[in-house]
Amino acid sequence: MNVILLKAKDFKTNIIQQQKHIFRYANQNSIDVNSTEIDNFSLNERLESKDKLKGFLRSLDYNDQVLIYSLLTFSNNLEEQIKIFNCLFERSISVHITSMNLKVTKDTSAVKIFSAFLKENDGFLDMEKTTVQGRPKGRMSKSKFDVYRLEIIDFLEKKYSVLEISKRLNVSRSSLKDYINSRGLRDLVDTRKKLLLEKDFKKQTNTVSQQCSQK
């Protein structure tokens, strides 16, 4: 069975646009769509509290395919996404991320998923925020440090200090520190380390995986 999952809440691309894009992708790849589901949970809610999403995941069978417009359909948190992928991969369920023209299967490396998350996360940080009390909250603007993003992550992974990184990149230490904090790069580095030790990471997510894969 091939199922479309659309994101209804806290999402830049509305449901109609998501659906049109996914159907176009499905037609181009000769995928027959059997049904469509809608996720109404907030992006930052944890999987443990998403009973309907867990119910959807449990309803899937071995070798089914899920089509989503963006990785953010699942969550804007990488660890939450990995929990969901673990649930799906246990039953050889594949995921098509149509905005990236990417198919993710149980054989896809965790590092590749991490790289895809980085690309998606850049777009999420740039999206317009919702309006509060009649005034827009503003945007997370692009930064001159964006071109160094992967280098900065590698340096942080090697436990370089912000001062050492700023010297290597010949940039302001204080501005670099603000960039690292605003983009949550230290959290990304911590998650990447867990992903590179996939056995340890799977132990941490095993309980949730059982909850969403058992019918």
Q: Where are the beta strands (DSSP E) in the chain?
A: 2-7, 35-39, 65-68, 94-97, 102-104, 131-132, 135-136
Strand partners, 7: 39
Yes or no: say if 37 and 52 are a contact pair by the CB < 8 Å rule.
no
Fold annotation for 2-108+205-213: Rossmann fold (3.40.50)
Q: Where are the beta strands (DSSP E) in 133-203?
A: 135-136
DSSP, residue by residue, 144-163: GGGGGHHHHHHHHHTT--HH
- Say if residue 31's pLDDT is above 50: yes
User: 214 in helix, strand or coil?
Assistant: coil
94-109 pLDDT, tens digit each: 999 999 999 999 888 7
Mean pLDDT score across all residues of the chain? 78
Strand partners, 97: 68, 102
Residue whose pair of structure tokens reads 């605003």 in the numeric block: 182
- Say if residue 188's pLDDT is above 50: yes
Which has the higher per-residue pLDDT, 83 or 192? 83
Maximum mean pLDDT: which of 37-41, 72-76, 109-113, 155-159: 155-159
13-30 pLDDT, tens digit each: 888 899 999 999 999 999
Sketch the domain layout of the chain as residue ranges.
2-108+205-213, 123-191
54-67 pLDDT, tens digit each: 788 888 999 999 99
Q: Which pLDDT value is given to residue 196? A: 53
Q: List the single range of 76-80, 110-114, 133-137, 147-151 with lowest mean pLDDT.
A: 133-137
Region of residue 65 (phi > 0: left; psi between -120 and 50: alpha; otherwise: beta): beta
Strand partners, 67: 4, 96
131-169 pLDDT, tens digit each: 333 434 434 567 888 888 878 888 988 889 999 999 999
User: 3 in helix, strand or coil?
Assistant: strand
Q: What angle do CA 155, 161, 166 make, to 5 degrees?
A: 75
